[in-house]
A and B are shown apart, each in its own frame.
Chain A
Amino acid sequence: TQLLEQSPQFLSIQEGENLTVYCNSSSVFSSLQWYRQEPGEGPVLLVTVVTGGEVKKLKRLTFQFGDARKDSSLHITAAQPGDTGLYLCAGDIVAGGNTPLVFGKGTRLSVIA
């Protein structure tokens, strides 16, 4: 059973389009992180969200943590080819074993010029 479900699994869009990817769980998280991974490399942190309802912006990327701290979204405005990569969400569960950094399977984004 995957603790963090990401959707869509694959996304191919044209340069300049907007997109949103989602990260959902039935578990409550103390915090949630978004990473981007490029081919042949390890994931690199984009952002950490901690407070329910929190919104963070990183240039054209907007991250939101759900009010109940069970879900998150990543919105990219005017996507660029450089945004291409695997986007992973990762969270640490609030209670019951507290396994840190459980990852979703990711959304593989391809932005076509």
Chain B
Amino acid sequence: DAGVIQSPRHEVTEMGQEVTLRCKPISGHDYLFWYRQTMMRGLELLIYFNNNVPIDDSGMPEDRFSAKMPNASFSTLKIQPSEPRDSAVYFCASILGSVLTEAFFGQGTRLTVV
């Protein structure tokens, strides 16, 4: 397996534009997590899914953020409209079975909103 795949690796957009980040988890993994990483706040959990169903989205900062998982092999995180303070590295991670097992992270998407 190629691991967790995120796209794009880098995204530069203007304030007010819509941004969509994509994630393909490892095949067979039943949990998927979206995190945001900044120097100030570290790695923050935004939302996670179990078997494609959103379980906890309390970390989503505002209504401008939304996430979907239409099937077991694909998830998106959308920001609309984007703001400069959304600039960060966004990670997707997947887990097989339970939270005691290893979380496999993608390489992240570095988002810059100017």
- Give chain A's interface residues, CB within 8 Å of chain B: 2, 30-31, 33, 35, 40-45, 48, 50, 88, 90, 92, 97, 99-106
A-B contact count (CB 8 A): 61
Number of interface residues of B (CB under 8 A): 23
Query: Quick one: which of B41, B45, B58, B107 contacts A101, CB cutoff 8 A?
Result: B45
B72 CB to closest chain A CB (Å) equals: 18
The distance in angstroms between the C-alpha atoms of A31 and B108, with both chains bound, is: 25
Whose C-beta in chain A lies nearest to the C-beta of B42? A105
Cβ contact within 8 Å between B100 and A30: yes
Contact string, B23-45, partner A, CB cutoff 8 A, digits 1/0?
Answer: 00000000101010000011111
The distance in angstroms between the C-alpha atoms of A50 and B91, with both chains bound, is: 25
Cβ contact within 8 Å between A100 and B107: no
